[in-house]
Chain A
């Protein structure tokens, strides 16, 4: 959600802040998230592990980083070629946000798979997960729009987001290899 908000800011210098810009951004995020859910669920069927889970975070961060470097030239390119600002903003938000959002969308179903112990508790686990992720989105939205934009530049906020994702991914990988070592140790 925080990324979605910043998306509006990123697009405004090229496509304005009319209602269709928000329409484009929200559409692209929703479509990407739904694709991410599908893919994440699918991927969780094959050898799910905390290590792969961590890779999702780091992958998201890697796909987010080009926004800082190439968002402007990409939008410039689209602005010159697409005259209608509606389709311009739709194309721009697709180019900028589809890949990172798909990957970040994969996280939710994948974590359901990792957290569920038994079918009888599946509903509860999913509930807690929705709770955490949606509440987190809400807090991110509030914090970004009320305070972060007063203190920091958009690029700085994006850097913090990528750093956070990398950090979380690193923690997941660390725990994964720790437990893998322990398992290896206990097998000996």
Chain B
């Protein structure tokens, strides 16, 4: 009799253990958990999405997500917003991506521009493997993934006088910022890699005190830039073209890209409208904030401090 009771009890506990996550809406499955040289990599399946995370604790901070049923559709607003760079350079032939993550942007660009050469820099070789195994990223002779520190690669590229039409800066995960990739000197090196018709697009933070310093640093290096923010994302995307593009051109390019970008879920016409409005916008950051450079780069400490109210 006690034996039967214990079996029933254990069955009960198994059911509770199994059903609790379901009832709480946590129907998720861990596909990969790996401690790499630089972070804890976690690939999860949840609500029909496959997501890459770099930290176990902060559940909400997904690095990259893909919907296996609609692999083209971009899940994150900031990824879609980054595609607005195509309004300034609709035919990029050489693309540089700093920070791979799941490789959503390089994968999309490789599909859209079969002749473009793409270099993707990712410090963590394990992340490149994950992007290839779970997120449909494919490295080959044309789409090259380099596993090393971006600052080294960029500096070598400047020595070789390479040029890129589109440079995407997305090397920052939510918890840690590589400080040497957010200085005026680094951005200057990036700018010198830009072709005459090139554009830099950067996915950056917008909630901490770092916002002021980062904005001031970009303004110092690039002059005026498009400070692209939308309600659906707490990120902001900086667009710094190397050349002037008129409002009319933005509109025609948006109309031309509209159909092509539809499968990716990128509302490019809305973006063009937003950017035209942004053209004369005053800085919404503290313009007296100290510029970050190789001598002064406490980006992670600044990111811990709340943003100043004087906006």
Contacts and interface: CB of A to CB of B under 8 A. Distances in A.
Interface of A: 9, 12-19, 79-80, 85, 146, 149-150, 152-155
B296 A18 contact: no
B149 A13 contact: no
B180 A85 contact: no
A80 B152 CA distance: 11
B22 interface: no
Given A18-B149, A154-B295, A12 B179 contact: yes
A14 B185 CA distance: 11
A178 B295 CA distance: 41
A19 B37 CA distance: 8
Interface in B102-121: none
Contacts of B297: 9, 149
A17 B297 CA distance: 13
21 contacts: A9-B294, A12-B151, A12-B294, A13-B155, A13-B185, A15-B149, A16-B152, A17-B149, A17-B178, A17-B180, A18-B123, A18-B148, A18-B149, A19-B38, A85-B148, A85-B152, A146-B301, A149-B297, A149-B301, A153-B296, A154-B294
10 closest A-B pairs by CB: A16-B149, A153-B295, A12-B180, A149-B298, A13-B294, A150-B298, A154-B295, A153-B296, A16-B152, A16-B151
Interface string B137-174: 00000000000111110010001000000000000000
B264 interface: no
A79 B157 CA distance: 13
Residue of A12, A19, A80, A85 with most chain B CB atoms under a 10 A cut-off: A12
A80 B180 contact: no
Given A16-B123, A17-B178, A19-B38, 19 more contacts: A9-B297, A12-B179, A13-B155, A13-B183, A13-B185, A13-B186, A13-B294, A15-B149, A16-B148, A16-B152, A17-B149, A79-B155, A80-B159, A85-B149, A85-B152, A149-B296, A150-B301, A150-B302, A154-B295
A181 B158 CA distance: 61
Interface string B280-311: 00000000000000111110011000000000
Contacts of A146: 301
Residue of A13, A15, A80 with most chain B CB atoms under a 10 A cut-off: A13
Contacts of B155: 13-14, 79
A44 B111 CA distance: 71
B267 to A, nearest CB: 37
A43 to B, nearest CB: 36
Contacts of A80: 159
Interface of B: 37-38, 123, 148-152, 155, 159, 178-180, 183, 185-186, 294-298, 301-302
B261 to A, nearest CB: 34
B100 to A, nearest CB: 15
A13 B181 CA distance: 8
Contacts of A155: 295
A154 B293 CA distance: 10
A150 B185 CA distance: 18
A122 B148 CA distance: 50
A20 B193 CA distance: 27
Contacts of A18: 123, 148-149
A14 B183 CA distance: 13
A13 B152 CA distance: 8
Nearest to B305: A150
A16 B302 CA distance: 20
A44 to B, nearest CB: 38
B212 to A, nearest CB: 14
Nearest to A85: B152
A151 to B, nearest CB: 9
A85 B155 CA distance: 12
Contacts of B295: 153-155
B149 to A, nearest CB: 3
Contacts of A150: 298, 301-302
